[in-house]
Structures are given as structure tokens and as C-alpha cells.
Structure 1
Amino acid sequence: MLAHLAATGSTRQVIAVHADRSQRTHAFRDELGLLVDKLPRAEAHIWYERPEVAWPAGRTGLADLSGIDIPEDTRAYLCGPVPFMRSIRSQLLDLGVPADRIHYELFGPDLGLATAA
């Protein structure tokens, strides 16, 4: 999504939130920074459960939206494991984002979506 917004020259406000176990396991870490830098109104907020180098205490552990100014007209797009999305969705609802403006996509192991032939 960030790549598309950057490629199309979007000027909308973008808040990218990422949580991971550590810097080493953070997929597309460098790309996230590059894409956010290309968007004039974008910011990234990153949390690590077990940071491997000095890391702000306020950004250690699970993602916490309480310190982020979430605009009133937010439309959120979530992607990640179910526990992460449940937490972020709940936080967004608590912050006043209506459920119909929260969209998500699950990823993880095959959960039996294929039908038997």
C-alpha cells in the first residue's frame, strides 16, 4: 500500500504502524523507511518486543496507539497475525474509529481454505 501511495504521489496523511519481535525479524524494514520518506504527510511508528540494540522504552513491547494522534476521519487498513489485528482494531474502536472504516487482511498458515477434491 505504501509503495502504491508513493508511486502515485499521494499527499494524504499516512500513519504506518508496525510491530515485530526485533529489528532482525522486521520484514521490509529499510523499504518502510524509504517509502515513508517519499510521502510528504507520512509517519512510521514501530515497536519491537525484544529490541537487539538501544530502543526507546515507550516503543518496546506490543503496539500501543495511545500516544499517536489518530485523525477523526481515519480509514485503517490492517494486515498481520490475528492477535495483532485484534489488538489494533480494539484500540482504533476505543479511539473512535468506526468499525466500517477498519479493513483487514489475514495472513498466516493455511487454515484449511482449500476444499477437498
Structure 2
Amino acid sequence: MAPPPVVLVSAGVGCAPMTGVPAHLASIGSPRPLLFPHAGRSPVDHALRTETGALVKGLPGARSAFRYEHAGPEEPDARSGLMDLSEIELPDEGTVFLCDPLPFIPDVRGQLPAAGVSPRRIRYEVFGPGLWLPGTAA
């Protein structure tokens, strides 16, 4: 039986904690399929872009899907605009992990059922300022 895939959806600095997952999979020689969609302002602003790219390229069955508000030549395969999961082929099983500051989480989580992802397969972590706390809204 093949191991279930892992999908790591992040934006902005949310990629920082996510990058540990492909690093771990590489360190143990895991055959587990991995999909790493990430959205950001631009390739230049994408924290850990080089490291993430190298990890994904080094894992069998791993792929990334980068989107940027302002795409650039540093990532020629990246798409422009906000994260749109309808443009990414998501696996039929496995777990989807979301990580980023608000409001990315509710927007992307709302896209997952239309992509065929059951709510019980979704995990998320807010990573960033506590915008839900009184007096912290921008």
C-alpha cells in the first residue's frame, strides 16, 4: 500500500514552518508524495524559496505550485495572482495542511471542498500576528 500524500498549502511567511516537512521526508528517504502550493508577493519576497525548491526537486513524487502577485523570471513556471486551488490537481487522499496568517486560511480552506477535499482531511495553523485579538486589526 502506497503512503498517503501530503499537501502543504502556504502563503507569505507560512512557508517557514511548512519547509520542515519536506526536509524531514528527505532525511528519512520517504516515498510519500508531496504537493507544495505556495502563494506570495513575488519570487524575490518568497522566504526559503531556494531551499523549498531544492527539497521538492530531491523528493520522488514531489511537486510545487507557486503563485505570486508579481511573478518574475526567478520562477518561470509560477502563475500570477492569488492562490486558486481549482488550477492545481490535488490528490484524492492524504492530508492537506494550511499555514499562513489570516485571511489566507479561510479563503483557501473554502476552496478545498470544491476541489474534492473532505473537511476531515484538512488541518491548519495560523502563523503570524493575532488579527483576531482585540486592538490588533490592521
1:105 corresponds, among 125, 133, 138, to 125
TM-score by length of 1: 0.84
- Work out which structure has the larger RCO, using CA pairs closer than 8 Å and 6 or more positions apart in sequence: 2
Instruction: Please give the TM-score of this superposition, normalised by the length of structure 2.
Output: 0.72
Going from structure 1 to structure 2, the CA distance change for 1:28 and 1:55 (only over 3 Å counts) comes to closer
Structure 2: stretches of 5+ with no match in the other structure: 1-20, 134-138
Over the matched positions of the two proteins, sequence identity in percent amounts to 45
In structure 1, the gaps of 5 or more residues are 113-117
SS of match in other structure, 2:32: coil
Number of residue pairs matched by the alignment: 112
In 1, Cα distance between equivalents of 2:29 and 2:74: 34
Q: Residue type matched to 1:19 in 2? A: A
Q: For each residue in 1:63-115, what CA deviation from the matched residue of structure 2 results, as whole angstroms up to 9, or x when unmatched?
A: 11112221211310111122222222111111121111100111112555xxx
Moved beyond 3 Å, runs of 4+: 52-58
What's the counterpart of residue 115 of structure 1?
none
Cα distance, 1:55 vs structure 2: 6.6
Structure 2 residue 40 is matched with structure 1 residue 20? yes
